[in-house]
Structure 1
Amino acid sequence: MRFLIIDDDETVHMYLEQLLSPYARLDAVFSGAEAIDKYQEAYAEKDPYSTIFMDILMPEMDGHEVTKKLRDLEKSMNVDGPDEFKLVMITSLKDTKNVSQAFFKGCASCYIVKPFNKVQVMNELRENNVL
């Protein structure tokens, strides 16, 4: 498995890398533009990400916009069904609008609200077949 973490907070990168490194190879980026580049590189290398961890509140391009661009890239490359990446939203936002947008427009598998802890993250990932 290969995971991509997209968050503008380095402490989130470090926390998730420590927590998830036994389960997958990990890359982490700080912006949506970097995420799109990494995603395209992974497919070009025939080593795509199985799961993407996405923050919503980021400068320049928010997580919903990045998700839409990544899902559009999947469609343009004829990636569908079980080959689509699983989306795990990691955010401090817990309002109905953002949660709904993540699940219904972004096809999120999980929505984990910050601050989170190891048990919460691992339970959510296991319950939603991410791990």
Structure 2
Amino acid sequence: MLRALIVDDDPINTRFLVEILTPYAICDTAANGHAGLEAFRRALTVGPAYDLILLDVMMPGMDGHRALEGMRHLEHVQGVPSSDAAKVIMISALDDARTMYRAFFQGQAMSFLSKPFSSETVLQELRKFDLIDSAQEPPPRSDP
């Protein structure tokens, strides 16, 4: 089973993502970038590390870009090969080119989802990167 970290300051969005991921992953949550970075550090050093991170871009204090840069730095310091690095999906209401560029090229995110998104959109991203397969599919459910 996957280990996932959801970092989002919106408790409704966090709860929605937990509901989507629960059939596939053990989920931890953090309400801001600082708490997300600390949870990531703890998991990376004590174990087990996270396989998947869903990371909101706009959060007070430390935004998602800075949190992801910190996470990638921690992986580098720990000697984690890029093939074993956590898979990161950035999520945001912002879908401008600068935000996407920073997510992909500076933070090395694997995907970017614009809010609002559906449960099926999240599951499609997980399937696209072979984090889940169709054999794991739970029965269809309706979105809130």
TM-score computed with the length of structure 1 as normaliser: 0.95
Structure with max Cα Rg: 2
Alignment match, 1:115: 116
- Amino acid aligned to 1:82: S
Q: Alpha-carbon deviations, 1:90-126, whole Å to 9, x = none? A: 1111000111111111111111110111121111221
Alignment match, 2:75: 74
Runs of 4+ aligned residues of structure 1 deviating over 3 Å after TM superposition are none
How far off its partner does 1:83 sit? Answer: 1.3
RMSD, matched Cα: 1.1
CA contact (8 A) 1:4 1:49 kept: yes
Query: For 1:108 and 1:44, how far apart are their aligned partners in 2?
Result: 21
One-letter amino acid of the structure 2 residue matched with residue 4 of structure 1: L
- The percent of aligned pairs where both chains have the same amino acid is 34
Residue in structure 1 matched with residue 131 of structure 2 by the alignment: 130
**Structure 1 stretch displaced more, 43-52 or 7-16:** 43-52
Are 2:41 and 2:71, in contact at CA under 8 Å, matched by a contact in 1?
no
- Which ranges of structure 2 fall in alignment gaps of 5 or more residues? 133-144
Alignment length (residue pairs): 131
Quote the residue 2:92 is aligned against.
91
Further displaced range: 14-23 or 118-127: 118-127
Amino acid at match of 1:102: A
Aligned to 1:32: 33
Contact 1:110 1:125 in 2 (8 A): no
Q: Which residue of 2 aligns with 1:4?
A: 5
Q: For each residue in 1:56-103, what CA deviation from the matched residue of structure 2 results, as whole angstroms up to 9, or x when unmatched?
A: 000011111111111111111111222100010111110001111111
Query: TM-score scaled to structure 2, two decimals?
Result: 0.87
